[in-house]
Structure 1
Amino acid sequence: MNSMSLLFIGLMLVPYTAFIVWLLKQDKRKNTMGIVVLMVAILATLLVAIYIDAKYM
């Protein structure tokens, strides 16, 4: 993995974390199942992107 990939992941992690915290505060019914599904989907996408990037470098 090159430095630009790590920089991109780092720049995306901070807003993503802030967005998840904001979503949790907005959830009036405290039903976090949708948030958990969203986090798992984005994490899976991130892992696939890292794997693909490492495969072709």
Structure 2
Amino acid sequence: MKKKNISQYYLLKNGLDNKTLDSLKKGKNITLVTLERLCHLLDCTPNDVINFYD
């Protein structure tokens, strides 16, 4: 978000709700639909947003 100069306010006004944004900040699970929406808003790929851990 910082690299693209996108605020939380922008995400909230364009389809993400407070609960989802809170989950993202806390590192909780999100749905693939949310991931798709986030990638669309940030103009990025899922690899830019998520990390997989063993």
Q: So what's the TM-score if we normalise by structure 1?
A: 0.28
Q: Quick check: which one's helix share is greater?
A: 1
In our comparison, the structure showing a higher alpha carbon Rg is 1
Larger RCO (CA under 8 A, 6+ residues apart)? 1
